[in-house]
Amino acid sequence: MPRFAQMLAEGMAARGHTVAVWAPEAVFSRLPAPGALRKWLGYLDQYAAFPAQVRRRLRACPPDTLFVFTDHALGPWVPLVAGRPHAVHCHDFLAQRSALGEIPENPTGWTGRRYQALIRRGYAQGRNFISVSRSTEADLRRFLPTPPVRSEVVYNGLNQNFTPQDPVTARARLVRQTGLPLANGYLLHVGGNQWYKNRQGVLALYNAWRARSARAWPLLFVGQAPDAALAAAHAAGPYRADVYFLAHADDELVRLAYAGAQAFLFPSLAEGFGWPIAEAMASGCPVVTTAEAPMTEVAGTAGFLVPRRPIADGPAAAWAAEAARTVEQVAALAPPVRAEAVAAGLANARRFEAARSLDRIEIIYQDIVRSPVSI
């Protein structure tokens, strides 16, 4: 979200708009207190001090000021400006769906359910929404008590310069910077430990692929260090010596990883959008992803699709074996066919150029300010 907010702020400023970013400031949480109490002092900053600050600042804002919420999770503050021009960006409703028991892979406790209900009551007072995918917009419409005045879909724009590089050169640079044995090719996953990223599924898929393939490319995880469950699965895996974790990689390293990979594995269980699909394609890397929205929205016709991984162990093992056939299909592409797949991915990724997304968002912002019915 910080990157998205920065992209919006810088993009609108570059288009000639005056931009100010408002966020809760540390007031109560600055007070000396034990760790557990500091958490609650932080809540006071968010839900007591910040609303008071907003109400004071509103007096100085002209009527044509547009108030932008960079995520619907900021819903508790939407009522503060519900009677003024505003727009609420929606990225994913996975936490909302989990709180309602719709996602068995991610059960939510009592306090989490109450917090998500608070968020929902807040954004439900919004009138103008911009979703990052049609899948996210469909969830939004289910959760709103009444239809919104305006609901638009604008796909995310890539917030880095992802471009194809010579794979051999990219791998050589990656080897120099990491010391990992990746010069002969590798499979890649980029993501964190969130349940929906399905990192254990990525590992199971890799193991199943190695068991059937004559190729011995390693698997590179880029993102957070593995959590306990993934670390245990890795330690017990038959190909653990060929699985590497690269934590806290900088932007340049991520770009090199995409450009040098033989294939990008992204079998997510759910997403709001799926940035890495577009990032990998823009870098010239073929993508294997889940055959469900919004992954299919982002991949278009350029991705190689696998089913969603089941929860139960038995069906999950069968899933890994089936999905491994798709990975081998990509791995075995003849050079001319691979070049066609890369070209299709590059063409698809152009849909997600940052300038195009920001231009569309600017038009929506201006329409909201001009239209009284949107207030």
pLDDT at 28: 84
- Rounded to an integer, what distance in angstroms lies between the CA atom of residue 355 and that of residue 304? 27
Q: In what order do the strands lie in the sheet with 67-69?
A: 67-69, 86-90, 128-131, 150-153
3-state secondary structure 89-131: EECCCHHHHHHCCCCCCCCCCHHHHHHHHHHHHHHCCCCEEEE
Under 8 Å between Cβ of 245 and 235: no
Q: Which residue has the tokens 């939004």?
A: 140
- Looking at the chain, the whole-number percentage of residues with pLDDT higher than 90 is 88
- My answer on whether 151 and 292 are in the same domain is no
Render pLDDT for 12-67 as a digit per residue (tens, 0 to 9).
999 999 999 999 988 888 888 777 787 778 888 898 899 999 999 999 999 999 99
Under 8 Å between Cβ of 272 and 133: yes
Structure-block tokens of residue 129: 């929404």
pLDDT at 25: 87
Tally the domains of the chain: 2
Under 8 Å between Cβ of 121 and 145: no
- My answer on whether 87 and 210 are in the same domain is no
Under 8 Å between Cβ of 229 and 204: no
Which positions ≥6 away from 50 have C-beta within 8 Å? 23, 24, 25, 77
Under 8 Å between Cβ of 3 and 159: yes
Q: Is residue 72 part of a domain?
A: yes
- My answer on whether 249 and 188 are in the same domain is yes
Q: Pick the range with the lowest mean pLDDT from 69-73, 155-159, 334-338.
A: 155-159
- Give 352's DSSP letter: G
| Residue 180 three-state SS | coil
| Residue 275 three-state SS | helix
pTM: 0.91
Render pLDDT for 208-256 as a digit per residue (tens, 0 to 9).
999 999 999 999 999 999 999 999 999 999 999 999 999 989 999 999 9
- My answer on whether 137 and 31 are in the same domain is yes
pLDDT at 42: 81
- My answer on whether 316 and 181 are in the same domain is yes
- Rounded to an integer, what distance in angstroms lies between the CA atom of residue 344 and that of residue 338? 10
Q: Is residue 221 part of a domain?
A: yes
Q: Is residue 162 part of a domain?
A: no
Q: Which of 247, 310, 301, 256 is nearest to 277 (CA)?
A: 301
- My answer on whether 347 and 358 are in the same domain is no
Query: Between these two residues, 305 and 49, which has the higher pLDDT value?
Result: 305
Q: Taking 90 as the threshold, does the pLDDT of residue 3 lie above it? A: no
Render pLDDT for 251-272 as a digit per residue (tens, 0 to 9).
999 999 999 999 999 999 999 9
- My answer on whether 35 and 174 are in the same domain is no
Q: Which helix (H) or strand (E) holds 340?
A: helix 335-349
How much is the average pLDDT of 94-110? 95
- Domain hosting 63: range is 2-157+354-374
| Residue 361 three-state SS | helix
Query: Between these two residues, 107 and 2, which has the higher pLDDT value?
Result: 107
Q: Is residue 75 part of a domain?
A: yes
- My answer on whether 212 and 301 are in the same domain is yes
Query: Between these two residues, 39 and 290, which has the higher pLDDT value?
Result: 290
Under 8 Å between Cβ of 260 and 171: yes
Q: Which of 293, 235, 306 is nearest to 264 (CA)?
A: 306
- My answer on whether 338 and 208 are in the same domain is yes
Which positions ≥6 away from 21 have C-beta within 8 Å? 5, 9
**What CATH number is attached to the domain comprising 137?**
3.40.50.2000
Question: Confidence band (pLDDT; 50, 70, 90) for 290?
Answer: very high
Tell me the residue ranges of DSSP E strands in the chain.
67-69, 86-90, 128-131, 150-153, 187-191, 219-223, 243-247, 263-266, 287-290, 304-306
Question: Confidence band (pLDDT; 50, 70, 90) for 293?
Answer: very high
Mean confidence (pLDDT) of the chain? 95
How much is the average pLDDT of 278-302? 97
3-state secondary structure 277-288: HHHHHHCCCCEE
Q: Is residue 67 part of a domain?
A: yes
- My answer on whether 85 and 190 are in the same domain is no
Question: Confidence band (pLDDT; 50, 70, 90) for 1?
Answer: confident
* Strand partners of residue 220: 188, 244
Instruction: Burial-class residue 324 by CB neighbours within 10 Å (0-12, 13-18, 19+).
Output: buried
CB-side exposure of 152: number of CA atoms within 13 Å?
19
- My answer on whether 361 and 282 are in the same domain is no
Q: Is residue 151 part of a domain?
A: yes
Q: Taking 80 as the threshold, does the pLDDT of residue 375 lie above it? A: no
How much is the average pLDDT of 68-82? 97
- My answer on whether 193 and 333 are in the same domain is yes
Q: Taking 80 as the threshold, does the pLDDT of residue 323 lie above it? A: yes
